[in-house]
Chains A and B, each alone.
Chain A
Amino acid sequence: MTQLGALWVYLAATPLLGLTMTLFAYLIAQGIYARARFNPLANPVLIAVALVVAVLSMTHTPYQTYFQGAQFVHFLLGPATVALALPLYRQLPKLRRAAVPLAGGLIAGSLTAIVSATAVAMLFGVSRVTVISLAPKSATTPIAMAIAERLGGLPSLTAVLVICTGVFGAVSARTILNVLRIEEPEVRGFALGVASHGIGTARAFQVSDEMGAFAGLGMGLNGLFTAFVVPVLLPMVLRWIN
């Protein structure tokens, strides 16, 4: 047993273990997600995070030790964000067909997401760091995390909040849109993509390809819009509160 403990201490100190753990936790989570027939509530990222957190706390491994290995995966977020240019380029023809309505919906929806999230949080009197981490929550995760990091928020809190936003949007969008009697699939998809990024987009693709394509467009445009608006808008809101 002590030998096993020593072995664990040795392995836990190398980057290898953090990386291996991340990949296996993700594969297990993907398996559960598939078993749950891709129900947004069985979100693979949340499950994988829970699995890794459980192992780390049971073995008393600090996050820093884990991250030494996991950073190789984390590093790929940058090039993956740049890679979002390709789906956006492919969706350009759809944008051209209805440029004005989509731009109007994007600006209104994105500003609503940012302002209402920060306003409600500030009414409750949360800390400045939490407000910054919450502001970009409707943007796609890599962009939202980069914004939070750049403005002094907690990227890891942002990551979890963005994913919870996506899950909530994916689960509740049908009800919200039905209450408002929105029937057009392109409008339903676009709203889902703007408000709840990739998880909403995955949900939209389950309904139809057309809805999914417009959701993907909404996700891409809102990621860009949020990246330019939050750094300008947020300091103004924070100053106004102080």
Chain B
Amino acid sequence: MLGTTRVIIRVTPPLLVKHHSINHAMLRALAILLLFQCFGEGLSMGLHVPVPGPVIGLLLLFGYLLMRPSAVDSIEPTALELLRHLSLLFVPAGVGIMAAAGKVRGEGVAIAVALVVSTTLAIAVTALVTRALMRRQIRRARVNAPSGF
């Protein structure tokens, strides 16, 4: 009993400090993400680009990370935590199908066929084109390698 108490006393202070700094980092990372979303929304609206603001924010942040790779470590834990529960964020909109269902009544079969055909083709075309280009790249590398010597 006494031993347990001693352990708790010894462990608690550093844990507290660490916990505090993690929270701080999380807030800062969240602020940075929101800031880049603001930049993105601003550019999207201001320049009348039809690309969604958050996507422009993604690209701006990506560019920023390329310029300052040291920023990755401070944003990454929060970003990954947010992305870990990404599918939760789709639920409110998904429930909206309740209200939207009336507008697409009678189009169910068309939508299902379009979805199945298009997804099958997309998998097939992506795979075939990527593989063909990879093989070409390998062949070229083989042809070019000896001439370099």
A81 and B137 CA atoms in complex are apart in Å by: 33
- State the Cβ distance, A176 to closest chain B Cβ, in Å: 5
B42 at the A interface (CB under 8 A): no
Q: Which of chain A's residues has its CB closest to B94's CB?
A: A49
Residue interface bits B62-84, CB-to-A below 8 A is 1, else 0: 10011000001001101110110
A195 near B119: Cβ-Cβ < 8 Å: yes
Count residues of A near B (Cβ-Cβ below 8 Å): 105
Q: Which stretch in A1-9, A130-138, A205-213 binds the other chain?
A: A130-138
For the complex, count residues of B whose C-beta is within 8 A of A.
72
Question: A124 in the interface, Cβ–Cβ < 8 Å?
Answer: yes
Query: Is chain A's binding surface mostly helix, strand, loop or mixed?
Result: helix
Of chain B, the residue at the smallest CB distance from A214 is: B130
Question: How far in angstroms is the closest Cβ of chain A from B66?
Answer: 7
A81: nearest chain-B partner, CB-CB: B54
Instruction: Say yes or no: is A57 at the interface (Cβ < 8 Å to chain B).
Output: yes
Interface contact B110-A182, CB-CB below 8 Å: no
Q: Is the CB of B94 within 8 A of A156?
A: yes
Query: Is B17 close to A, CB under 8 A?
Result: no
Q: Which of B17-73 contact A (CB under 8 A)?
A: 30, 33-34, 36-37, 40-41, 50-55, 57-59, 61-62, 65-66, 72
Q: Please determine whether B119 and A77 come into contact, CB atoms closer than 8 angstroms.
A: no
Q: Name the contact of B90 in the complex, choosing from A101, A141, A196, A218 (C-beta under 8 A).
A: A141
Cβ of A85 within 8 Å of any chain B Cβ, yes or no, is: yes
Q: Is A109 an interface residue (CB 8 A)?
A: yes
A187 CB, nearest partner CB in chain B, Å: 5
A79-B123 contact given A121-B110, A190-B130, CB 8 Å threshold: no
Q: Please, which residue of chain B has its CB at the minimum distance from the CB of A121?
A: B114
Q: Is the CB of B109 within 8 A of A124?
A: yes
Quote the shortest CB–CB distance from A60 to chain B (angstroms): 12
Q: Pick the contact of A105 from B94, B97, B113, B127 — CB < 8 Å? A: B127
Lowest 5 CB-CB distances: which A-B pairs, in order?
A156-B96, A109-B126, A105-B130, A124-B110, A146-B52
